[in-house]
Structure 1
Amino acid sequence: MARTATPKIPLFRNSPAFSRGRISHTGTEKAVEAYSGQFRKDMENFLNVRALEHVNGGMMIVLTLLPNGVLYSVTTLGMGYEIFGSYLSDMAKTGRVCAERVDAFNSPIYSALVGELKELIVANGYFQIVRIEKLDYPMVDEKNREPRLFARHFRAVTEGVVEDHCGKEIVEELFDHLTKKLEGNMFIFDEKYCQEAHYLVFLRRRVTG
């Protein structure tokens, strides 16, 4: 009797970052841990390489977005990604884009807490934190809380990744509908959700022998 072949499961479904229907790290706890773990590895490598490039006492600035204690999932940016991902899922349901491609799409962005970044820099040891300066995020200004402007900024960051992963033919429709979806979810621009900030972390290369 012939045996029925077991359906092949796409490799991305075995990834700890896999979170069906979501494209960012706001999904399952497992996905959040996967993004966080990758960020720690990447940041360690980044600091090690920059340390080789800098002379003793050389300066560097690192940027991060989230204040301590703030969940990315309840920020304007985080919820914007959720809305963006939801429309990609809608396009998959109607056959406009391959569902497998949407499920495999993980946005390569992780917003670290300022305390998380500080901890990694201290543990690495190559750089001294000179000071941390907070600048208001543009969305804090009420005149910037406008769906079309937000969608344009969003497109500037994500268009290339979306085009490579899902195809150029969906780009115009996707970002046009993102604007419309944002117009229908204006609550994400409420002041209580505009919690992001620009934290400039000024570093100095430690003196070594």
Structure 2
Amino acid sequence: MDETVTAVIDDVVARAAAHDADEPDRLRRWRVLEPDAGRLLWFLVQSSGARDVVEIGTSHGVSTLWLADAVRSTGGHLSSVDADPDVQDAALANLVRAGLDAHVTFGTGDGGAALAGLDEQSVDLLFLDAERTEYPGWWPHPVRVLRPGGVLVVDNAFSHADEVAPLAALIDEHPGLTSTTVAVGKGELLALRSR
């Protein structure tokens, strides 16, 4: 990761912390990804050579920056979906500053509908960081779109364990998935599709 990308990430994280400290409405907070969770995403893409990466929940683009930098190295592409076009505009501005905008396509709308529209077994890595209570309604699309060997990453597995639990139960019940939760950021639930 080059210094320009790192500087943009650090800037957005600092601005988000200042903004969120004064914002009482959870839905208006920037809610950016923790730096160590970003490094984990970058590592997962790099180590697996993932080329087709999908992110549901762009926010202001910190996770988008990590993923875009990773797919730039693998020769891949990131598709990022968020319900709020304003945050995607902010994310795009951050990607332009980092020189990564050519590696990302944005979609605005419902994450579940976006997943339903993807081809079966077309995604190497899927990152979910949206409204967690909606995830069970998106099932089985998160696993359907993963290629064998593909990875599903779900943010906030510890910080919002009660909201992630219904999806975690579906993952645990699926015979083609093996999962673990790692103490990185606010907790990352990882699921590997074996078949």
Q: Which has the higher contact order (CA 8 A, sep 6+)?
A: 1
Fold shared, TM-score > 0.5 on shorter chain: no
Larger Rg: 1
User: Which structure shows the higher helix fraction?
Assistant: 1
Larger proportion of strand? 2
| Band of TM-score, shorter chain | under 0.3
Normalising by structure 1, we get a TM-score of 0.26
